[in-house]
């Protein structure tokens, strides 16, 4: 997989693609970005944990107007993956309220983003109906 690079460093592409989080060793709060200390308890030790690939849509919006260069429409959502809230787009689903619903079951999938000048392919993620 040397020729691929994930959109974000919390997306792991080896084997079964999945998300990881930094979990506070003291209070178990989880963060997807690099943290100096825990926002919940100020602890400074973290371990890496895997996030379940399946979840339910807790909320969403269908964005029809976005900043220049951002393709629309797209579905932005918060997915509850086994108790951890994850931000992601809903993909492989028609972007309308008849097809996207609160509580729908979804699973993680990868989204190809194309290759750069050296041939390295970028890969993002989204959630598709399970």
Partner 1 sequence: MAEDVWILGVSMTKFGKHPDEDNFDLAAQAAFGALTDAGIGMKDVGVLAAGCLTGGNSAFGQQLQKQIGQTGIPVYNVANACATGATALRVAIMAVKAGETDYGMAVGVEKLSGAGLLGATARKKQGDTWAAEGRFGAIAPLDGRIGTESMPGVFAQIGLEYGSKYGGVDFELFARIAEKNHAHSTLNPLAAYTKRLTLDQIMNDVMIAYPNTRPMCSANCDGAAAAIVVSDSKLKTLSLEQQRRAVKISASVLTSDPWQEACQVLPDVNTLTRQAAGQAYEAAGVGPEDLDLVELHDCFATAELVHYDNLELCEPGGAVDFFNSGATWRDGKTPVNVSGGLESKGHPIAATGIANVWEICQHLRDEAGARQIEGARVGLAHVIGLGSACGVHVLKKAYLRCSA
Instruction: Candidates 26, 31, 52, 128: give the one binding partner 1 (CB under 8 A).
Output: 31
Q: In sequence order, what DSSP letters do the residues of the chain get, joined into one string?
A: -TTEEESSTTEE-SSS-EEEEEEETTT--EESS--SS-TTT----EEEEEE-SEEEEEEEEEE-S-STT--SSEEEEEEEETTEEEEEEE-SS-SSTTT--TT-EEEEEEEEEEE-TTSPEEEEEEEEE-
Minimum CB separation from partner 1 for residue 77, in Å? 7
Nearest CA among 130, 59, 55 for reference residue 92: 130
How many residues at the interface with partner 1, by CB under 8 A? Answer: 53
Work out whether 5 is an interface residue with partner 1 (CB under 8 A).
yes
Closer residue to partner 1 in complex, CB, 30/53: 30
Site for partner 1 in 56-75 (CB under 8 A): 58-72, 74
Q: Of 77 and 106, which has the nearer Cβ to partner 1?
A: 77
Per CB under 8 A, the list member of 109, 124, 128, 129 interacting with partner 1 is 124
- Chain positions contacting partner 1, by CB under 8 A: 5-10, 29-35, 39-40, 58-72, 74, 76-78, 83-89, 97, 102-103, 111, 113, 116-118, 120, 122, 124-125
């Amino acid at each position: 997989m040397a020729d691929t690079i994930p959109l974000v460093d919390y997306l792991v592409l080896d084997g079964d693609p999945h998300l990881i989080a930094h979990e506070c060793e003291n209070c178990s709060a989880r963060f997807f970005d690099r943290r100096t200390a825990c926002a919940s308890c100020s602890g400074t030790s973290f371990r890496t944990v895997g996030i379940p690939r399946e979840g339910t849509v807790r909320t969403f919006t269908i964005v029809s107007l976005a900043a220049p260069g951002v393709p629309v429409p797209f579905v932005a959502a918060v997915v509850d993956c086994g108790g951890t809230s994850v931000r992601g787009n809903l993909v492989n689903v028609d972007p309308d309220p008849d097809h996207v619903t609160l509580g729908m079951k979804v699973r993680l999938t990868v989204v190809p983003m194309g290759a750069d000048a050296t041939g390295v392919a970028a890969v993002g993620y989204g959630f598709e109906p399970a």
